[in-house]
């Protein structure tokens, strides 16, 4: 019932991108900043620093994009209630729960994202070393 469109609810894919693209940008920029200003300046190249930096980056990215995650979840659960419209969903969420409504679910999301990113960036740096990937030198 609903054909192929049933697999792609209105607002579902668009809001997924609205959440995931900023999440990736914030997480990667935070990680690069921590790597450049904390990890690289240390004499010992301990993997735990990559893990801590990755966990912090994932936490920051997750927390900053939690409002988009709330909207995404609401649209994917009941798109018809909001007519598949991101703006309508945002306004109704604000009316129902105030600004705090956009932080709902942030603790479980952080519990998932912090360790996942910690592990991801440990392996990311491991493979950068194995493959001998060099950072680009910026000319002044």
- H or E element at residue 7: none
pLDDT at 102 (0 to 100): 97
pLDDT at 129 (0 to 100): 87
What phi, psi does 122 have (nearest 5°)?
-65, -45
Which parts of the chain register pLDDT below 70? 2, 5-12, 137-140
User: Which of 105, 72, 106 minimizes the C-alpha distance to 89?
Assistant: 72
Q: Which 8-state DSSP code applies to residue 37? A: I
pLDDT at 139 (0 to 100): 62
pLDDT at 11 (0 to 100): 58
User: Which of 73, 107, 106, 105 minimizes the C-alpha distance to 90?
Assistant: 73
The torsion defined by the Cα of 62, 67, 68 and 71, in degrees rounded to 10, comes to 140
- 137 contacts: CB under 8 Å, gap ≥ 6: none
Q: Write the pLDDT tens digit of every residue in 88-110.
A: 999 999 999 999 999 999 999 99
What phi, psi does 10 have (nearest 5°)?
-60, 130
Exposed/middle/buried for residue 31 (C-beta within 10 Å: 0-12, 13-18, 19+) = buried
**Contact (Cβ atoms closer than 8 angstroms) between residue 90 and residue 74:** no
């Amino acid at each position: 019932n609903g054909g192929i469109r049933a697999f792609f609810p209105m607002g579902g894919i668009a809001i997924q991108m609205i959440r995931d693209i900023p999440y990736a940008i914030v997480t990667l920029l935070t990680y690069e900043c921590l790597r450049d200003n904390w990890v690289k300046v240390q004499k010992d190249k301990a993997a735990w620093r990559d893990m801590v930096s990755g966990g912090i980056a994932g936490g920051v990215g997750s927390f900053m994009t939690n409002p988009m995650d709330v909207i995404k979840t609401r649209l994917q659960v009941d798109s018809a209630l909001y007519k598949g419209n991101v703006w309508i969903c945002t306004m109704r969420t604000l009316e129902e729960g105030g600004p705090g409504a956009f932080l709902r679910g942030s603790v479980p999301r952080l519990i998932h994202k912090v360790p996942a990113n910690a592990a991801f960036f440990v392996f990311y740096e491991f493979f950068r070393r194995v493959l001998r990937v060099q950072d680009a030198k910026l000319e002044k």
